[in-house]
Amino acid sequence: MSGPIPVGLLPEHATVGESGELRIGGCDVAELAEAYGTPLFIYDEQGLRNRCREATAVFGERATYAAKAFLCRAMVRLVMEEGMSIDVASGGELGIALAAGAPPERIHLHGNNKSSRELAAAMDAGVGRIIVDSLEEIDRIERLVAQRHRAPRVLLRLTPGVKAETHEFVATGHDDSKFGFTVSTGAAATAVERADASAAMDLVGLHVHIGSQVFDADSFAKALAVMAEVIEPWDLPELVLGGGLGVPYVTGETAPTITEWAEALEQTALDLGITAKLGVEPGRAIAARAAVTVYRVGTIKRLPDIRTYVAVDGGMSDNPRPVLYGSGYEAFLPRAVQAARPQMVRIVGKHCESGDILVREAAVPGDLAVGDLLATAVTGAYGHSMGSNYNKIARPPVVFCAEGDARLVVRRETLDDLLAADVG
């Protein structure tokens, strides 16, 4: 028998009401589901702010929020208010950051294949850093500067040859990667020489990112050791170590806190004699635990001696991580947060795919019934941001909750939204 969902997987400001019901930021989850419908993303706003403050306590503005984890204008404003910078990985993310009022100098542009249009937009806006990923990108920047676009400050993204212990789709630091200039082949040294000699850019540092959902601090230390050798001859003032810090998703998982991670990085850099200022780019570690996704159970299919399927009104369109990476989650009933979960079921979505699985082996209370609200925890990162309109399902709304107040920050899509770009 599985016990109640561990408290450490719920948002920081989740509480249990007198009847056993879940409240987030002082707001009743069942009431929110009634008001906004399901599926619904509910964020603990103060939890988001606390994680931002934890990062800036060590790194200040060199703590940069990775927008790809979760992005909307309210999120941009929140991380700006808490003193972080923000990294974006496309023209669309750049546009949202600017529309939300982010100071351009606190925006960093990423991407392994930035178009000339994206680069021009970033340069004209005056973004703080462009993280250069290829020689072709250096060519594009030089052409744009020759056309009188503003010359940027840049970091070069290097591939250190470190294989992080994580899913192959989110490992980025090994040599066989689409990202960056590979150290072991000499491509990194060539790129540094080229960028340093170019009048079209101001090379201020190096960047490295070894992957996502990494629990082992030794992996980051190995990357730092490689970068120490690369950066030493050039005496560049900045070294950004990316993000990738893992977070617990299921019972039994543990991970360093942002503070522990930061202290380990700083100590390793000190031990290696690195004098460049360190920067980091947490995304998942800021947003993941802060949210739950709430669904409504529509059907329960019991197959004796095989399994029980529980179908909800969302699925791979609001959380593709289980399909993409085999990611695990815990499920629970918001009406009975502290209830034991003796029944094993497979939670599936409503899409026309057998692979539309949200939780492959979910422990749930024995009295789970059609019509119940069912929630998955730790869905604040890479759920809404990676969502789709597959089967023309409208994307869910997002609500921020704090001190008993709920505010809608992303409304639910409508049929009009689905038709807006369909000009046929």
pLDDT in tens, 271-296: 999 999 999 999 999 999 999 999 99
**What six digits make up the tokens of 51?**
């994680």
pLDDT surpasses 70 at 175: no
pLDDT surpasses 90 at 108: yes
CA distances from 69 to 58, 63, 122, 137 (A): 21, 15, 20, 25
Identify the domain boundary among 249, 271, 287.
287
CA distances from 101 to 15, 96, 229, 282, 369 (A): 33, 9, 39, 21, 45
Shared domain check, 104 and 73: yes
The pLDDT assigned to 346 comes to 98
* Cα angle value 181/184/185 (rounded, 5°): 70
Shared domain check, 348 and 220: no
Shared domain check, 267 and 314: no
Determine which of 82-96, 174-188, 293-307, 322-336 has the lowest per-residue pLDDT on average.
174-188
Shared domain check, 190 and 125: yes
Shared domain check, 60 and 21: no
Q: How much is the average pLDDT of 394-405?
A: 98
Q: How much is the average pLDDT of 35-51?
A: 98
Residue with tokens 């059907």: 299
Shared domain check, 250 and 111: yes
Inside any domain, residue 2:
no
Domain that holds residue 265: 45-287
Identify the band that residue 173 occupies on the pLDDT scale cut at 50, 70 and 90.
very low
Helix, strand, or coil (residue 24): strand
Q: What one-character DSSP code corresponds to residue 169?
A: G
Inside any domain, residue 154:
yes
pLDDT surpasses 50 at 166: no
Q: How much is the average pLDDT of 178-200?
A: 92
Closest C-alpha to 205, from 112, 132, 255: 132
The two counts, helices (H) then strands (E), for the chain are 12, 21
What is the rounded average pLDDT for all residues in the chain? 93
Shared domain check, 386 and 253: no
pLDDT surpasses 90 at 307: yes
Collect all residues with Cβ–Cβ distance below 8 Å to 164 and sequence separation of at least 6: 171, 172, 173, 174, 210, 211, 214, 216, 219, 244
Shared domain check, 322 and 405: yes
pLDDT surpasses 50 at 176: yes
The pLDDT assigned to 168 comes to 44
The pLDDT assigned to 233 comes to 85
Q: What are phi and psi of 33, to 5 degrees?
A: -65, -35
Beta-sheet pairing, 153-159 with 202-208? parallel
Identify the domain boundary among 229, 255, 287.
287
The pLDDT assigned to 169 comes to 37
Inside any domain, residue 1:
no
Question: Which contiguous run of DSSP H or E holds residue 116?
Answer: helix 116-125
**What six digits make up the tokens of 37?**
């419908």
Closest C-alpha to 146, from 154, 138, 157: 138
Higher pLDDT among residues 284 and 227, named by residue: 284
Distance of CA 418 to the CA centre of its chain: 25
Under 8 Å between Cβ of 357 and 310: no
pLDDT surpasses 80 at 174: no
Identify the domain boundary among 235, 260, 287.
287
Instruction: Report the distance separating Cα 29 and Cα 22, nearest Å.
Output: 6
Inside any domain, residue 216:
yes
Shared domain check, 180 and 271: yes
CA distances from 228 to 80, 183, 225, 255 (A): 31, 12, 5, 25
Identify the band that residue 220 occupies on the pLDDT scale cut at 50, 70 and 90.
confident
Determine which of 9-13, 187-191, 301-305, 412-416 has the lowest per-residue pLDDT on average.
187-191
- CATH code assigned at 409: 2.40.37.10
> Is 352 noted as a catalytic residue in this protein?
yes
Shared domain check, 279 and 144: yes
The pLDDT assigned to 214 comes to 80
Collect all residues with Cβ–Cβ distance below 8 Å to 247 and sequence separation of at least 6: 213, 255, 284, 285, 288, 289, 378, 381
Shared domain check, 152 and 52: yes
The model's pLDDT over 333-378, given as tens digits with 9 standing for 90+, comes to: 999 999 999 999 999 999 999 999 999 999 999 999 999 999 999 9
pLDDT surpasses 90 at 321: yes
Question: Which contiguous run of DSSP H or E holds residue 332?
Answer: strand 331-332
Closest C-alpha to 369, from 336, 338, 393: 336
Provide the 10 A C-beta neighbour count for residue 182: 18
Inside any domain, residue 138:
yes
The pLDDT assigned to 170 comes to 38
Split into its structural domains, the chain has a count of 2
Identify the band that residue 225 occupies on the pLDDT scale cut at 50, 70 and 90.
confident
pLDDT surpasses 70 at 1: no
pLDDT surpasses 60 at 163: no
Shared domain check, 49 and 38: no
Residue with tokens 């950004």: 240
Q: Which of 27, 52, 352, 401 is catalytic?
A: 352
Tell me the one-letter amino acid at 161: G
Radius of gyration, CA atoms only, the chain: 22
The pLDDT assigned to 6 comes to 96
The pLDDT assigned to 231 comes to 80
Identify the band that residue 177 occupies on the pLDDT scale cut at 50, 70 and 90.
confident
Under 8 Å between Cβ of 333 and 293: no
